[in-house]
Structure 1
Amino acid sequence: MGRARPSLQELIQRRENAGFVGRRRELDAFRDNFGLPPEEGRHHFVFHVHGHAGVGKTWLVRRLEQVARQEYGALTARVDETVGSVPEAMAAISAQFHRQGKEFTAFDRRLATYRQRRHEAESAPDPAERPGPSTGSMVAARTGLAGLGLVPGVGALAGAVDPVPLAEGTDRLRAALSSRFRDHKDVQLVLDPVEALTPLLVRELSEAAAAVPWLVLFFDTYERVGALLDPWLHTLLTSERLGRLPANTVLVLAGQTRLDPGRWGELADVVAELPLEPFTDAEARHLLTAKGITEEPVVREVLRLSGRLPVLVSTLAENPGTSGDLDDPSATAVERFLKWEPDPVRRAAALAGALPRRLNEDVFRAAVGEEAAGAGLFGWLRALPFVGGRTGSARYHDVVRAPMLRLQRTTSPQRWSEAHTRLAETFAGWRETAAGGLDPRDGWKLDAWSGPRLEEWYHLLCARPSAALPGALRDGIDACDAGPAVARRWAATLAEAGEDADSDEVRAWGRRLEGALRDERRRGIEAMGLLLARAGLDTAGRAAAHVVRGWHRRSVEENDAALEDFRRAIELDPEDVRAHFGCAAIHRLTGDFTAAMDALDRVDALEPGATWVQRERGETCRRAGRYEEALALLDPVIEADPGDHVALGSRGRIKAVLGRPREALADLDRAIALNGDYTWALVRRARVRSALGDTAGALDDLDRAEELAPDTPGTLGERGDVHRFAGHYEEAIAAYDRALALDPGYAWALGSRAMAHEGLGRRAQALADLARAVELNPGYAWAVAQRERLLNSPEGGRHDRPV
C-alpha cells in the first residue's frame, strides 16, 4: 500500500514551517534537551520563553510543538488565554491528547460530573432565610477564599484560630450544596475542583507517558494565564500532593514577563530561560527573502515600520507595497496593516474590532454595529495575521492594536467616545442579565458578572476618562472586597484604559493601584488607603472602604488598626452591619468579650431575629468561658438550622470542656458529616476521641486535617498529644518537633514535649522545655506548675494536658 497523502492541514503546516526563520539558538536548546535523560543533571523540565509583545513567542511555541511531535514522538498539548480556570486548562489538555489517540476516560467522566454539578449548584435557589448571595455566587467565591486561608476550617488559618468570624458565606454554600447533593464527593468537587480533578489528570498523564518518549505541555500567553495557573503548576512540580508527574514531562511557558522569583527561584536549576529579542537585521531580511521581497527600498521600509518585531515583519511582508509609494511620509503602521484591503467596510470593521480588549462574535457585532456585521465578516477578521485566539474568541496583537487605537482616538475624538460608550452600554446589559438580582458586592465574585463589569468600566474610561474615573474607583472597593485576583483585574483595567485613552490621570491611578495590590497577603489594605486619601469618595464610599480595609487588616492580625477602621465606618454609617460585626470579631479575638457582646447587640438591633447573630453570641460566650450561657444560645440556633455545622462544632467543643465527651462527639460527628473538610472540628474531634481512648480514630482525624491544611503547628501539636496520652512518647516528640520547627514560639508544644520527655525519663530536657515555654509566655500557669512539680518531685508525677 502506498503512503497516505498528507492532509490539507499538514500541507499548510509544512509551508508555515518552511517560512519559519531565526530562533536557531532557542530551537537547538530545546532539541538538545531531548537528548538528555530526565535523571541527567543538565536536563531541564521547564522552558520559559519570554519577551515583549511582538517578538514571536507564539510563533516559536508552535514551532517547538512541531519539533516535539514530529522529531521526538512526543504527545503535546497547548493552553493559552482562552482558558479561564485551572479546570478549563485541564480540560484543554485532555481534549488535545484525545485528538492524538490518548483518551483520559476517568478524568473526562469526572470533569463532566463537575460541570453538571456546578451548573446545578449555580442554578439552585438560596436555601438560607437571610438575604444574601446566591448559591451560584458563593460557588465562584469559595475557591478564591480557600486559597487565601479564609474559608472556615481550611487554608492558612486552620488550627490557628477559631473559624467562626469568617464562616457565614461559605457555611451557607456548603449547607446549600450538601442539601442538594447526597454524595459528599460531589460537594467537594464543586467546592475545590482543582484538588479533586488534578490527581485524576496526573494519573492519566502517567499512563500516557508510559507509551511515548515524552509529554510536552505548552502554556502560551503566560502573562495572562499565569495568575491562574502559576500556583497549580508550581505545586505539580514541587509536591506530590496532587499526584506524581511522569519524569518524561516537559513544560514550556511563554509570556511577556519573567517568572515570579519568589515562587520559581527554587526551581532555577530545572528551568531553561529563553529570552526573545526582536529579529536581527539578518533574520528579518531572511524572512522577507522567503516571502519574495528583495527590493531594497521596500525591505528598508518594512524594517523601519516593523522595528524588526516578527509579528509586524510577517504582517507587512504579506503586502509590502512597491517602491513607488514608500516615500510617503504619512505612511503609518496602521495604514500598512490595512493597505492591501480595498473594501472600506472591512477596513472600518478591522479598526472597530480593535476597540474591545477581547472579541467574540457578539462583541464584534456591538463594536461594528449590526448593519455592518455582515455574514462572514468576523471570520474574515479572525483570519488576519495580527488577530489571534481560538474557539470563537479573538484578540488583536498588542503591537497592532495600540496604533489602531491611537489612530481612531486622534482622528475623531467624538466617534471614539461614541463607539466606546456604545460598547459600555452593551456590556452593562450583559452584566445586568447575569446579575439576576445580585448585590453588586456579591456580583464581583462571579465571572459572569465581573467580566462584563470590567469591560464596561474599560470602555467608559476610554470614552470619558475624567467623568468615569470616580465611579470606577468607588466600584473598586467592592472589587477589592471580592479578593486579590478580582482586585488586580480591576486595577489592570484602569491601567489599560488610561494607556489606551492616553489619560495621565487614569493611567496613574491604575499603576498606583497595581502597586498597592502587589502583596496578595495584604489584599486591599494599601489600595483602600489610596482611595480614602485621594479618591474624593462620598460618605457611603468612605464607610465602605473603611469596612473592607478593616476586614483585610483583621486577616493579617492588625487588630487595633482594624478596629479603628470599623469605628470610623460606624461614625460615617451607624447602620453598617459589617462594621458592627467587625468590631465584635476584633473584641472577641482580643479577649474583650463584653465589648464583643455589645457590638453584637447593635447587629441584632439592625437584623432582628437573625440566627447567625445568635450563633455569634454563643461563640463569644464560649470563647469567654461562659459555657452554660453559650449552650443556651447555640441550642436554639441548631434547632432552627440543623445544618449549621459551625454551631454544632462550637457546641461540641463546649461539651468536651464540660466533661461530656460522648455528647461532644455526637455534635462533632454531625458537624463533620455536614462538612467533611471542617478542619477545626476534625482537630477538636481528635482530642475528644483521644480522651475516650480511640487513638486510631483520633489519628485518622488528624491525618485528614493535615491533608486539608498541611504544616499547621496546631494540628501537629494535637498529634503529639494523641501519641503522648497513648504512651507513644517518641512519636509524640517527633510531632512536637515538627510543630516547633514551623513555629519556634509555640509555648504550648514546648510544654507538651516536656511531658513526653518526662515520660521517657529525660528530666533535664523536660525542665529545659518548660523553662523555655515560661520564658516565651510568663503567664503560662500550667507550665509554671509543671516545672515546680518536677523541681520538687524528682520521681515525676502526672502527665497533664497543657492548657
Structure 2
Amino acid sequence: MQDLIRQRTRAGFVGRGAERALFRVNFDTAPHDERHRFRFHAHGNAGVGKTFLLREFEQVAREQGALTAYIDDSAGSVPEMMAEISRQFAAQGRRLKELDRLLAAHRERRHEAELAALAVLDTQPEEPGPSAGGRIVARAGVVAAGMVPVVGPLAGMLDAEQLAHVADRLRASLIDRFRNHEDLQLVLAPEQVLTPVLLRELADTSAPWITLFLDTYERTGPYLDPWLHETMTTDRHGPLPATTVVVTAGRAPLDPARWGGLADFVTDLPLAPFTETEARGLLAARGVTAEPVVAEVLRLTGGLPVLVSTLAESRPTDPDDVGDPSATAVDRFLKWEENPARRAAALACALPRWLDGDVFRAAADCPPEEREPLYAWLRGMPFVHERGGGRLRYHDVVRAPMLRAERRRSPREWAQRQRHLAGLFGAWCEEAGAGRGTGELWADEAWRELRLEETYHSLCAGDRNALPQALGDFVRACEAGVAGRWARALVDAGADADAEPASRWGTELTAALDTEGVGAALGLLLRRAVLDAPAQARARLVRGDELRGEGVYAQALTEYDRAVALDPELAVAYRHRSGIRGDLGDHDGAIADLDRAVALEPDNAWYVALRGEHQRIAGRDTEAIRDLTEAIRLDPALGFAWASRGATHERAGDLDAALADLGRALDLDPDYAWALARRARVWRARGESHRQLADLDRALALNPDWPWARCERGDALRVTGHDEEAVADLDVALALDPAYTSAYASRGESLARLGRHAEALADLNRAVDMRPGYVWALSRRAVLHAVSGRREEARADVERVRELNSAALERLSETDRAVLGPFIGR
C-alpha cells in the first residue's frame, strides 16, 4: 500500500522542474568533476514543498541505483540518525552489521555512565601531585579523560590545582573501569566511535551512489550540522565515499560561518511558493481547470504547494460562496470535500501529533466498515506525510489551522476529545508497563512515546494536574536523555491549545537545554516549579549526575546529599553518591552508601556488584569476593560481576579461579574487552605470553584506540624481546593519551634496548618528571645512565630508589645488578 501511494503521489508531482533537473544531472557528473556537488540544501517557509521535493529527489536517486535513507526529526540525536540509516539500508538489502552492534552497545552503555568513574588503577600508588597531563587538562577546562567540558562559571568552583587533581583521578577511574576504551567513548562521545564505523561500512557498499536525505533541518540541524560538516570536510573519522550525496531541507539557509567557504561543493535551493504557472499546471494535472475555481485557489493558497495540492485533490468545479472571511483557508478546502465522513475524519485526525492505524481508529470514531477506506484516503492526501516507523503526520501548515478551527468551534468538545485521546494513550501505557518498574519503563522508547502523547493530550485538554505531571516527567526525561522531546511537547501543547503556562515552560526549558544543558534546565525547574519531594529528589539526582560529568564534584555531592534528604528511600541516589565518593577516593563512604542502597533493594544484583567492585578497589579481597559472589547468585548473567571477581582472584594470586571467572564473563559477552585485558594479566602471571598476546590482540581488534590495551601489549612485546613492535604500540598509546606515564617508561626501556639511548633517556626523564616516585622508571634510568658512562646520575637514581623502595634493588635481574653493582654496593 505504501509503495502504491508513493507511486501515485509521485506520478502527480508538478513543478520544481529546475531543481529536479539539477539533482538528476548531478548523478551524470563524476565526483572528481568540478561540476559535481556533494550536498544540496533546500530551504523555505513551511508549506513550500520541501518534504515533497526531498521525496522526489529520493526516487530520482533510487532510479540511479543509489542506496538511500530519509531522516526527519523523529531521530533526536546523531546515534538515532545512524540507527535509522542502518534500518533503511537493511530494508534495501545492505546491512551495516558492525554499526548495528555498536549502536546496541551504545544503548546499553549510556545507562551505565556512573560506572565509568568507580575504579582506580590498583597497580599504581597515588601520585603526590597532579600529573603534567592533569595540569594540561585543567588549563583547558576539560575533565573526564579530556572529553567532557566544564561549563561556564562551574569551572570556577575549583582552583587550577584542585581541578588538575580531579582530572587525574577521573581519568584513572574512567580508564580503569572501561578498559575497553570504546565503551567509555560510547558513553561520553558516541559519535566518535560510531562515525568511523559508519564510514567504513559505507565504503564497503557496492551501490554506485549513496544518498542521505535529512529533512526538518530547522530541528535536527543544531546537532546534525556540526557532525555533518566535520564528517564531510575533515578526515577525523576517516574517508567518506566520494559517491555520497547529502540532501538537507529546512526553513533557513545554511549557516554561512560554517558552510560559506564551501560554495563550490554545495548547491543552494531556495524554494519560493509556486509561480502562477506552476500552480495552474498542478491544478490542471488534477483536472481543475475552471477559471473561477483556479482563481479562488490561487487567492486562498498564495501558491503554497501543500495547500494547492490539498485543494486540487478534492477537484472542485465551482467556487460557490467563498464563505465567511474569518474562516480558515482549510475550512474552505474541506468545504469542497463532498464526503462528510472524509471531512470529519480529516478534522478529527488533526488532533493527534501522529497517526497509525490504532490512533486513527480512536480519533476518527467512524463505523468499522469505513475505517480502512478512510485511512487509505487520508494516507494519500498531500498534507499527510509518512515519518519514521510508518507513522503519519499532518503538515504543520494544514494541521495548525485545523486545530484552531476545531477549538474555536466547540471548546468543550475539543477538551473532551483531547481527554479521550489522553485516556487512550494512558491505557496503552498501562498495558505496555504491566509488571515492570519505573526505571525499566523510562528506558523503553516505545513506552516513553506513549507517555509523551498522553502528556500532550492532557495538557491540551486543560486538566488541572497535567502541567505539574508534565514537569515531573520532564525530570525523568532528562534522566533518560530525551528532555528535548518533552520540552517540545510542552511547546506544542501551548501553541495548539493556546495554553500560555505550558508554552512558557516549554520555551524556557528548551532555551535552557539548548544554551546550557540539562543541569540548567533542572535548575530552572527546581527554582520555579511546584514539585513534590520525590520529584525534587529525582531532579537533584539527575542534576548531580550532570555536575559529576562536568567534574564539579563538590557541587554534585551537594545535589546527591539533597536528594537523599528529600527522599531517604531513593536507592538510586545512594548508588550515584557512592560513585562520586569513589571518584574522590572515599571508598568507605561509597561502601556505606551502597550498604543503604542494598538494604532498600536487597535483590538488586547491580548494587551488590558495585559494592563488591568498591571493595576490590579498596583492596578488601575477602569482602569483594563475598559481594561479587552474591551478585552472581542474584543474576548469573551479570558479566560485570564475573569479570570483577576474576580480577580480584588474579590480584590475590588464585589464577585458576581468575581464569574461570573471566572465562565466564567472556562466555556471556565475547566482546567484553575489559575482561580480555584482565585475563591477559592472568596469562602473564602464568608465563603464557602467547595467550597474553592473543587476548590483547582480540581486545585491540575490538577497540584499536584503547591506550591502556596498547600499553599492555607493548609491555608484553617488550618482555618477549620484540622491542620494535613494542615501540610501535607504545607510540600509538602515547598519541592517544599524551599523559600516559607508564607508557613513556616502557617505551624508554625498549628504546634503550634498541640502542636509541638519547630517545630512551628523554622518555624515562618524562616519566620521572610526571611521577617523581616512579621506582621502576628510576631503576631503568639508573641502568641507562650506568651503561652510558653517566656515573653520578646513575648513583643519584640508585639512591632515590633505595629511599623509596630498597627491595626494588633486590628484584633487579643479574645483568642489571652487575651494571649497577658499584652503586648498589655503596
Question: If the TM-score is normalised by the length of the shorter chain, which range does it land in?
Answer: 0.7 to 0.9
Q: Is contact 2:323–2:332 with CA below 8 Å preserved after alignment?
A: no
Change (3 A) 1:676 1:561: farther
- SS where residue 374 of structure 1 aligns? helix
Q: Is contact 2:73–2:216 with CA below 8 Å preserved after alignment?
A: no
Instruction: Tell me if 1:433 matches 2:431.
Output: yes
Change (3 A) 1:222 1:697: farther
Q: Is contact 2:679–2:692 with CA below 8 Å preserved after alignment?
A: yes
The residue that corresponds to 1:525 in the other structure is 519
Change (3 A) 1:767 1:330: same
Change (3 A) 1:46 1:575: same
The residue that corresponds to 1:457 in the other structure is 455
Instruction: Tell me if 1:315 matches 2:307.
Output: no
Residue number among 475, 478, 481 corresponding to 2:479 in the alignment:
481
Q: TM-score, normalised by structure 2?
A: 0.74
- SS where residue 429 of structure 2 aligns? helix
C-alpha distance in 2 between matches for 1:261 and 1:634 = 56
Q: Identify which range, 345-354 or 625-634, moves more after superposition.
A: 625-634
Deviation at 1:762, TM superposition (A): 3.4
1:675-729 deviations in Å (ceiling 9; x for gaps): 2222222222234434545455444433443454452333333233233323333
Q: Which structure 2 residue ranges, 5 or more long, are not aligned? A: 118-143, 148-169, 184-193, 799-808, 814-826
Residue number among 582, 594, 601 corresponding to 2:595 in the alignment:
601
The residue that corresponds to 1:418 in the other structure is 416
Instruction: Tell me if 1:652 matches 2:652.
Output: no
Q: Is contact 2:69–2:85 with CA below 8 Å preserved after alignment?
A: no
Change (3 A) 1:271 1:683: farther
Letter in 1 for 2:735: A
1:489-521 deviations in Å (ceiling 9; x for gaps): 2222222212212223212322333344448xx
Q: Over aligned residues, Cα RMSD in angstroms?
A: 4.8
C-alpha distance in 1 between matches for 2:474 and 2:397 = 29
Q: Is contact 2:290–2:317 with CA below 8 Å preserved after alignment?
A: no
Instruction: Tell me if 1:27 matches 2:20.
Output: yes
- SS where residue 395 of structure 1 aligns? strand
C-alpha distance in 2 between matches for 1:384 and 1:640 = 55
Matches within 5 A, 1:679-694: 679-694=673-688
Q: Is contact 1:55–1:278 with CA below 8 Å preserved after alignment?
A: yes
Instruction: Tell me if 1:544 matches 2:538.
Output: yes
Identity of aligned residues (%): 47
Change (3 A) 1:52 1:775: farther
C-alpha distance in 2 between matches for 1:594 and 1:153 = 19
Change (3 A) 1:668 1:40: farther
Q: Identify which range, 506-515 or 266-275, moves more after superposition.
A: 266-275
Letter in 2 for 1:462: C
1:353-402 deviations in Å (ceiling 9; x for gaps): 10000112321222233559834332332333322228974221111001
The residue that corresponds to 2:376 in the other structure is 379
Letter in 2 for 1:568: R
Q: Is contact 2:199–2:240 with CA below 8 Å preserved after alignment?
A: no
C-alpha distance in 1 between matches for 2:10 and 2:596 = 73
Q: TM-score, normalised by structure 1?
A: 0.76
Deviation at 1:576, TM superposition (A): 2.0
The residue that corresponds to 2:349 in the other structure is 353
Deviation at 1:324, TM superposition (A): 6.5
Matches within 5 A, 1:246-261: 248=243, 250-254=245-249
Instruction: Tell me if 1:749 matches 2:740.
Output: no
Change (3 A) 1:651 1:621: same
C-alpha distance in 1 between matches for 2:772 and 2:778 = 8
Instruction: Tell me if 1:146 matches 2:144.
Output: no
Letter in 1 for 2:766: R
The residue that corresponds to 1:54 in the other structure is 47
The residue that corresponds to 1:677 in the other structure is 671
Q: Identify which range, 632-641 or 537-546, moves more after superposition.
A: 632-641
1:603-648 deviations in Å (ceiling 9; x for gaps): 3433457655443333222212334553455455556655443233
Change (3 A) 1:298 1:776: farther
The residue that corresponds to 2:510 in the other structure is 514
C-alpha distance in 2 between matches for 1:588 and 1:323 = 75
Instruction: Tell me if 1:765 matches 2:759.
Output: yes
The residue that corresponds to 1:16 in the other structure is 12
C-alpha distance in 1 between matches for 2:499 and 2:401 = 16
Instruction: Tell me if 1:400 matches 2:398.
Output: yes
The residue that corresponds to 1:276 in the other structure is 271
Deviation at 1:570, TM superposition (A): 1.4
Deviation at 1:340, TM superposition (A): 0.5
Change (3 A) 1:590 1:392: closer
Paired positions, count: 722
Instruction: Tell me if 1:581 matches 2:575.
Output: yes
C-alpha distance in 2 between matches for 1:800 and 1:360 = 74
C-alpha distance in 2 between matches for 1:800 and 1:571 = 55
Q: Identify which range, 652-661 or 524-533, moves more after superposition.
A: 652-661
Q: Identify which range, 58-67 or 233-242, moves more after superposition.
A: 233-242
Deviation at 1:457, TM superposition (A): 0.4
Q: Identify which range, 237-246 or 44-53, moves more after superposition.
A: 237-246
- SS where residue 512 of structure 1 aligns? helix
The residue that corresponds to 1:123 in the other structure is none
C-alpha distance in 2 between matches for 1:533 and 1:8 = 54
Change (3 A) 1:710 1:336: farther
Matches within 5 A, 1:67-466: 67-68=60-61, 73-75=64-66, 77=68, 79=70, 90-95=86-91, 97=92, 143-146=106-109, 150=113, 161=173, 205-206=205-206, 209=207, 214=209, 216=211, 218=213, 248=243, 250-254=245-249, 272-280=267-275, 283-284=278-279, 287=282, 302-318=297-313, 319=315, 325-326=321-322, 329-370=325-366, 374-375=370-371, 376-389=373-386, 393-464=391-462
Q: Is contact 2:425–2:451 with CA below 8 Å preserved after alignment?
A: yes
Letter in 2 for 1:311: V
C-alpha distance in 2 between matches for 1:260 and 1:740 = 37
Q: Which structure 1 residue ranges, 5 or more long, are not aligned? A: 1-6, 98-102, 119-138, 172-193
Change (3 A) 1:264 1:620: farther
C-alpha distance in 2 between matches for 1:437 and 1:455 = 21
Q: Is contact 2:83–2:103 with CA below 8 Å preserved after alignment?
A: no
